[in-house]
Amino acid sequence: MHVAIVHNAIPPDALASDQDTLVQVETVLDALRQLGHEVSILPCTLNLEALSESLQRLRPDAVFNLVESMAGSDRLQYLVPGVLDALRVPYTGARTDSLFVTVDKLLAKQYLRGAGLPTPDWQTLPPARGLQIPRSEPGGPHAIPLNGTVGGASFPGQRKYIIKTITEHASYGLDDDVVFDFQDVGDIQQRLRAASSRLGRPCFAEQFIAGREFNLSVLAASPDCDAAVASTTAACEVLPAAEIDFSGFPAGKPHVVGYRAKWDAESFEFQHTPRTFDFARTDAELLRRLAELARQCWTVFNLNGYARVDFRVDESGRPWILEVNANPCLSPDAGFAAALQRAGIPFEQAIARILQDIR
């Protein structure tokens, strides 16, 4: 099979989180060649006409989609699958609509709430124009705190919030200052305006779950699995849960996997946020619940190939879905590769399963 690896073009001065895309390209390239495929590499920009012409010239049997951003914005990554849909070229990973929804954390949270899945309450700035997201009944079990109201129905007594960008991933903009004690709505909105201005990206505030942090990777089901399972929309395998160990953090330091923890190997945060796959027997029911929620996310967002779901677990043991990453990082040192190793699945076999799950 001729597979074209399509990725966003990376400038020499790009951030470490963007440079990592090139590591993924080399890793997937090696795996595809080991599987016996002919491989082309095609970097792309917002010149979608040039991308279309290149694809029509190459005529690949499939595209392995490693596009994580366009023109410096994660929000635009759905454009490439849109081009592939128009050209009727099969491709790996999430479909255009799934990427459009999951890359927008607020839109994804709306889907989670609509499906009855647990996600923390949040607060946004009032929109200057455009669509107004409908609210649930005030004070109801899924009250959505928007535009001047603060809910708490989902986690009573929560007094901390964390500020995040709405559409950027890879912990963009996350540091210790983004976690703060709730004062009032005016304070939250002032912080949101300041953060949005500083980062050059729209931001929102989410209730901070001061507990444990987990991420679960999900892989398309093996083609030799039971036929009844393979025919379902949830034909996926949830890989072993990983927990981030914050025990090395000093008292008072927020338990957050920020940008330094992910991308600065020399930083304190990077060196003191190891992942662990080892759990006590008492965690068995929690791990089962996390796996079930990850499987439900796969179905709700109609995911393909592979994904990762990030969770926090509050002090009462209740899990909360933070984000759904529809095309997670495939670098050798990333969480997905670590989960594959823990599950005993060779990386090349995982790449084969991702490639076989194209539509």
pLDDT tens column, 170-208: 666 677 778 888 878 888 888 899 888 888 888 899 999
**Model pLDDT for residues 26-50, shown as the tens digit of each residue:** 999 999 999 999 999 999 999 999 9
Neighbours of 285 (CB within 10 A): 10
Exposed, middle or buried: residue 129 (CB in 10 Å: 0-12, 13-18, 19+)?
A: exposed
Tell me the whole-structure pTM to 2 decimals.
Answer: 0.87
pLDDT of 224 above 90: no
252 or 76, greater pLDDT: 76
Report the pLDDT value the prediction gives residue 297, as an integer from 0 to 100.
97
Domains and CATH numbers, the chain: 2-91 (3.40.50.2300), 121-154+156-207 (no CATH), 211-241+277-356 (3.30.470.20)
**Model pLDDT for residues 298-346, shown as the tens digit of each residue:** 999 999 999 999 999 999 999 999 999 999 999 999 999 999 999 999 9
Q: Of 100, 291, 99, 318, give the one whose Cα is nearest residue 207.
A: 318
The token pair that represents 225 in the structure block: 């699995």
Q: Give the separation between CA 101 and CA 211, rounded to whole angstroms.
A: 27
Segment 139-145 shows an average pLDDT of 36
pLDDT of 223 above 60: yes
Average pLDDT, the chain: 86
pLDDT of 139 above 60: no
Burial 231-263 (b: 16+ CB within 10 A, else e): eeeebbbbbbbbbbbbeeeeeeebbbbbbbbbb
**Residue bearing tokens 């079990």:** 141
Report the pLDDT value the prediction gives residue 148, as an integer from 0 to 100.
34
**Model pLDDT for residues 248-301, shown as the tens digit of each residue:** 989 888 888 877 777 778 888 888 889 999 999 999 999 999 999 999 999 999
Least confident of 118-122, 138-142, 152-156: 138-142
pLDDT of 141 above 70: no
CA distances from 126 to 110, 134, 149, 163, 205 (A): 17, 13, 11, 16, 13
pLDDT of 131 above 60: no
Segment 116-129 shows an average pLDDT of 84
Write the CB contacts of 228 (distance below 8 Å, at least 6 apart in sequence). Answer: none
Report the pLDDT value the prediction gives residue 101, as an integer from 0 to 100.
95
Confidence of residue 158 (pLDDT cuts 50, 70, 90): low
